[in-house]
Amino acid sequence: RPWDGRRKVRTTCPYCGTGCNFDLEVVRRPVAGEPEREEVIGVASAADAPVNGRHLCVKGRFGLSFIHHPERLRRPLVKKEGRFVETSWEEALSFVAERFRAILSEWGGDAFGVLASAKVTNEENYLINRFARGVLGTNNIDHCARLCHASTVAGLAAAFGSGAMTNPIADIAKSDFLLVIGSNTTESHPVLAQKLLQAIGRGTPCVVIDPRRTELAAAATEHLAIRPGGDLALLNAMAHVIIAEGLQDDRFIEERTEGFEEFKAAVADCSPEWAAPLTGIAPAVIRETARRYARAERASIFYTMGITQKRTGTHNVMAIANLALLTGHIGKEGSGVNPLRGQNNVQGACDMGALPNVFPGYQPVGDAAVRAKFAAAWGLDAVELPAKPGLTVGEMLEAARAGELKAMLIVGENPVLSDPDSARVVEALRRLDFLVAVDIFLSETAQLADVVLPACSFAEKEGTFTNTERRVQRVRQAIEPVGQSRPDWRIVADLAAALGRPFDVNDPAAVMAEIARLTPAYGGISHDRLDREGGLCWPCPASDHPGTPRLHEERFTRGKGRFHAVHYLPPAEAPDETYPLVLSTGRRLFHYHTGTMSRRTELAAIYPEEHLEMHPDDAAHLGLTDGDWVRLSTRRGAISIPVRLTEGIMAGTVFTSFHFSEAAVNVLTNSAVDPVAKIPELKVCACRVEIV
In the complex with ligand SF4, the residue whose CB is nearer, 43 or 233, is 43
Instruction: Give every CB contact of residue 448 below 8 A, 6+ residues apart in sequence.
Output: 416, 426, 429, 430, 435, 437
* Rounded least distance, CB 358 to ligand SF4, Å: 26
Instruction: Give every CB contact of residue 266 below 8 A, 6+ residues apart in sequence.
Output: 236, 565, 566, 567
Q: Give the residue from 425, 389, 388 showing the smallest Cα distance to 410.
A: 425
* Rounded least distance, CB 638 to ligand SF4, Å: 32
Site string for ligand SF4, 123-142 (x = CB under 6 A): --------------------
For 608, phi and psi rounded to 5 degrees? -80, -25
In angstroms, rounded to a whole number, what is the distance separating the alpha carbons of residues 218 and 213? 6
* Rounded least distance, CB 341 to ligand SF4, Å: 11
In the complex with ligand SF4, the residue whose CB is nearer, 20 or 120, is 20
* Rounded least distance, CB 360 to ligand SF4, Å: 24
In the complex with ligand SF4, the residue whose CB is nearer, 128 or 597, is 597
In angstroms, rounded to a whole number, what is the distance separating the alpha carbons of residues 19 and 52? 8
* Rounded least distance, CB 657 to ligand SF4, Å: 15
Helix (H, G, I), strand (E, B) or coil at 219: helix
Choose which of 40, 57, 93, 650 interacts with ligand SF4 (CB under 6 A): 57
* Rounded least distance, CB 11 to ligand SF4, Å: 11
In the complex with ligand SF4, the residue whose CB is nearer, 14 or 313, is 14
In the complex with ligand SF4, the residue whose CB is nearer, 57 or 150, is 57
In angstroms, rounded to a whole number, what is the distance separating the alpha carbons of residues 205 and 194? 15
Helix (H, G, I), strand (E, B) or coil at 118: coil
Beta-bridge partner residues of 637: 634
Answer yes or no whether residue 60 interacts with ligand SF4 by CB under 6 A: yes
In angstroms, rounded to a whole number, what is the distance separating the alpha carbons of residues 564 and 265? 11
In the complex with ligand SF4, the residue whose CB is nearer, 272 or 342, is 342
- In terms of Cβ atoms closer than 10 Å to its own Cβ (0-12, 13-18, 19+), residue 491 is buried
In the complex with ligand SF4, the residue whose CB is nearer, 13 or 407, is 13
* Rounded least distance, CB 214 to ligand SF4, Å: 16
In the complex with ligand SF4, the residue whose CB is nearer, 16 or 370, is 16
* Rounded least distance, CB 427 to ligand SF4, Å: 33
In the complex with ligand SF4, the residue whose CB is nearer, 77 or 169, is 169
Helix (H, G, I), strand (E, B) or coil at 161: coil
In the complex with ligand SF4, the residue whose CB is nearer, 293 or 465, is 465
Which helix (H) or strand (E) segment holds residue 56: the answer is none
In the complex with ligand SF4, the residue whose CB is nearer, 59 or 72, is 59
Choose which of 50, 109, 113, 190 interacts with ligand SF4 (CB under 6 A): 190
In angstroms, rounded to a whole number, what is the distance separating the alpha carbons of residues 187 and 175? 22
In the complex with ligand SF4, the residue whose CB is nearer, 343 or 485, is 343
Q: Give the residue from 489, 381, 370, 505 showing the smallest Cα distance to 127.
A: 489
Q: What is the DSSP string of 317-380?
A: HHHHHHHHHHHT-SSBTTBEEEE---BTTHHHHHHTT-BTTEEGGGEETT-HHHHHHHHHHTT-
In the complex with ligand SF4, the residue whose CB is nearer, 16 or 318, is 16
Whole-angstrom CA distances from 470 to 17, 407, 536 are 10, 33, 8
Q: Is the peptide bond before 539 cis (omega within 30 degrees of 0)?
A: yes
* Rounded least distance, CB 122 to ligand SF4, Å: 16
Site string for ligand SF4, 20-49 (x = CB under 6 A): x-----------------------------
Choose which of 56, 270, 409, 663 interacts with ligand SF4 (CB under 6 A): 56
In angstroms, rounded to a whole number, what is the distance separating the alpha carbons of residues 314 and 333? 26
In the complex with ligand SF4, the residue whose CB is nearer, 342 or 386, is 342
Interface with ligand SF4 in residues 2-21 (CB under 6 A): 13, 15-16, 18-20
* Rounded least distance, CB 44 to ligand SF4, Å: 13
In the complex with ligand SF4, the residue whose CB is nearer, 199 or 632, is 199
* Rounded least distance, CB 509 to ligand SF4, Å: 24
Number of residues that bind ligand SF4 (CB under 6 A): 14
The one segment of 187-195, 618-626, 639-647, 683-691 that binds ligand SF4 by CB under 6 A: 187-195
* Rounded least distance, CB 45 to ligand SF4, Å: 9
The one segment of 184-192, 210-218, 269-277, 298-306 that binds ligand SF4 by CB under 6 A: 184-192
Answer yes or no whether residue 472 interacts with ligand SF4 by CB under 6 A: no
- The identity of residue 363, as a single letter, is Q
Three-state secondary structure of 6-55: CEEEEEECCCECCCCEEEEEEEEEEECCEEEEEEEEEEECCCCCCCCCCC
Angle at 656 between CA 148 and CA 441, to 5 degrees: 65
> E strands, 174-221, where?
177-181, 206-209
The one segment of 28-36, 186-194, 305-313, 508-516 that binds ligand SF4 by CB under 6 A: 186-194
Our measurement of the distance from residue 311's CA atom to the centroid of its chain's CA atoms, rounded to an integer in Å, reads 17
* Rounded least distance, CB 593 to ligand SF4, Å: 11
Answer yes or no whether residue 144 interacts with ligand SF4 by CB under 6 A: no
The one segment of 54-62, 221-229, 401-409, 543-551 that binds ligand SF4 by CB under 6 A: 54-62
Q: Give the residue from 518, 577, 174, 207 showing the smallest Cα distance to 363.
A: 518
CB 319 within 8 A of CB 235: yes
Choose which of 150, 191, 385, 581 interacts with ligand SF4 (CB under 6 A): 191
In angstroms, rounded to a whole number, what is the distance separating the alpha carbons of residues 454 and 74? 6
Which helix (H) or strand (E) segment holds residue 287: the answer is helix 283-295
* Rounded least distance, CB 15 to ligand SF4, Å: 3
Choose which of 10, 23, 50, 59 interacts with ligand SF4 (CB under 6 A): 59
Q: Give the residue from 322, 362, 408, 425 showing the smallest Cα distance to 667.
A: 425
In the complex with ligand SF4, the residue whose CB is nearer, 21 or 152, is 21
* Rounded least distance, CB 524 to ligand SF4, Å: 25
Q: What is the DSSP string of 371-430?
A: HHHHHHHTT--GGGS--S----HHHHHHHHHTT---EEEEES--HHHHSSSHHHHHHHHH
* Rounded least distance, CB 183 to ligand SF4, Å: 13
The one segment of 34-42, 183-191, 256-264, 382-390 that binds ligand SF4 by CB under 6 A: 183-191
Q: Which residues are at the interface with ligand SF4 (CB under 6 A)? A: 13, 15-16, 18-20, 52, 56-57, 59-60, 189-191
